[in-house]
């Protein structure tokens, strides 16, 4: 972060910028795994996230699906009517 000369602002940690700077760690647990180890970790994380998902009940799923299908049909009808109207206007103006 670049500040103007004479500014009284300090970094968020409350320490001057030069003292608080640390070099990033290299290696460690994450750096030592090979491609298969990282792939296994990725798979385990996916499974852990899927366990947190709150799955809808069957009746809610049917309700949500019905609402979506009805909405899509209404939007298709709306776009069709607008397209037909524009087509008629173009025929009247140019044809």
**pLDDT given for residue 35 in this prediction:** 86
**pLDDT given for residue 16 in this prediction:** 56
Tokens 């009805």 -> residue:
70
56: pLDDT confidence band, cut at 50, 70 and 90?
Answer: very high
In sequence order, which ranges of 53-95 are alpha helices (DSSP H)? Answer: 58-94
Binning the chain into helix, strand and coil, the percentages to the nearest 5 are: 65, 0, 35
Mean pLDDT score of the chain, rounded to an integer? 83
Q: Give the Cα separation of 16 and 21 in Å (integer).
A: 9
pTM of the model as a whole: 0.49
Residue 61, both tokens? 């799923």
**pLDDT given for residue 95 in this prediction:** 80
Q: Residue 56: helix, strand or coil by DSSP?
A: coil
- Judge residue 11's burial from the number of C-beta atoms within 10 Å of its C-beta, 0-12 exposed, 13-18 middle, 19 or more buried: middle
């Amino acid at each position: 972060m670049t500040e103007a000369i004479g500014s009284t602002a300090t970094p968020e940690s409350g320490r001057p910028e030069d003292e608080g700077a640390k070099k990033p760690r290299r290696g460690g647990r994450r750096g030592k795994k090979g491609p298969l180890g990282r792939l296994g970790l990725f798979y385990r994380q996916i499974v852990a996230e899927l366990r947190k998902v709150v799955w809808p009940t069957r009746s809610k799923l049917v309700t949500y699906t019905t609402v979506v299908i009805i909405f899509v049909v209404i939007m298709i009808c709306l776009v069709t009517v607008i397209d037909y109207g524009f087509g008629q206007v173009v025929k009247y103006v140019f044809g």
